[in-house]
């Protein structure tokens, strides 16, 4: 079923769409960017859709990982679910979750009555600003889930 090798994936330079089988394709743009896509037909539809599986560059999604992602998506299709629709619903759910920065500000404001004085509040704000500055933009659903990598 598989047509591509990891060596072929890294050596392909010409723009185009290269099939690995089972609906998995390596798409190469005119500028040389490589992305994995899965072409499929959702349940109860005749229209072909494409779902991006990630970049195929060094440090991106490997051929093996792309095959695993494609298999997982095909498994969802077998269960009558549209993997792209499921992915979008998860993305919308995460979008509703506040970022860590505003969440931390709201937390300190909510705890202000428990603090003894203004200096204590200022210390909390400074600590969160100084030591958690790298987390300010991340969604709390991701930040508070230690087993997940940041994206």
Whole-model pTM over 0.95 = no
Q: What is the pLDDT of residues 1-21, one digit of tens each?
A: 789 999 999 999 999 999 999
CATH architecture of 6-84: 2-Layer Sandwich (3.30)
Give the whole-angstrom CA distance, residue 70 versus residue 83: 10
Q: What is the pLDDT of residues 34-58, one digit of tens each?
A: 999 999 998 888 899 999 999 998 8
What number of residues does the chain have? 151
Domain extents in the chain: 6-84, 95-143
């Amino acid at each position: 079923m598989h047509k591509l090798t990891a060596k072929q994936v890294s050596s392909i330079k010409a723009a185009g769409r290269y099939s690995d089988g089972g609906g998995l394709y390596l798409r190469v743009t005119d500028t040389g960017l490589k992305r994995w896509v899965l072409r499929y037909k959702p349940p109860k539809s005749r229209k072909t859709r494409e779902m991006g599986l990630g970049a195929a560059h060094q440090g991106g999604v490997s051929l093996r990982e792309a095959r695993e992602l494609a298999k997982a998506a095909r498994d969802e299709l077998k269960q009558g679910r549209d993997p792209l629709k499921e992915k979008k619903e998860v993305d919308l759910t995460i979008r509703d979750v506040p970022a860590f920065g505003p969440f931390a500000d709201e937390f300190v404001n909510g705890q202000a009555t428990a603090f003894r004085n203004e200096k204590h509040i200022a210390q909390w704000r400074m600590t969160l600003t100084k030591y958690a500055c790298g987390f300010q933009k991340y969604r709390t659903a991701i930040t508070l889930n230690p087993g997940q990598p940041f994206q």
